[in-house]
Structure 1
């Protein structure tokens, strides 16, 4: 129950208001992949996505996202000026598919397309 002010209350489930297409995964802000080849897609809020080992594809969605590749040949989709790709040396040959400029971090060595 939410207090609306002046003695008025509303009853409901706030999670339902945040769902996209009735998908519970749409309210998750952060995700960590496993040992396989993962495809992780964020939503419109700021996400932190970590691929783990494997050849992963990370797409943060519309928010200003932090994407961590890990071991394997990873692909990052960058479409927000606030997106950051974090990948360290000797963890694979990675690719950034960027429609705009993206944040560089120390130790990061992906290839830009």
Structure 2
């Protein structure tokens, strides 16, 4: 499916992945799950609206590397036919990052 928006962030956070998930879920409005995959290891996943997919990966893990020794990567994608706009998704996600006291938030090239 073609994407109308595809962006990513790198950030630091002193919280564990499971704690980040709990804080994100308490803050709302999206529902997050801890998932596991061979390629990404443990990661957070949400599909808050039709055609919207947001994932948070901790690194280093399996095949995931980041620009620092350790940290988190976030991949945000909106499919071309979704009614949701990037500004909406980005605003909610940046608000969630503030809830977990994320630092060193840097926009990076999307990955997959």
Normalising by structure 2, we get a TM-score of: 0.28
* Structure 1 or 2: more strand by fraction: 2
Task: Point out which structure has higher relative CO (alpha carbons under 8 A, 6+ apart).
Answer: 2
* Structure 1 or 2: more helix by fraction: 2
For the pair shown, the structure with the greater C-alpha radius of gyration is 1
Normalising by structure 1, we get a TM-score of: 0.27
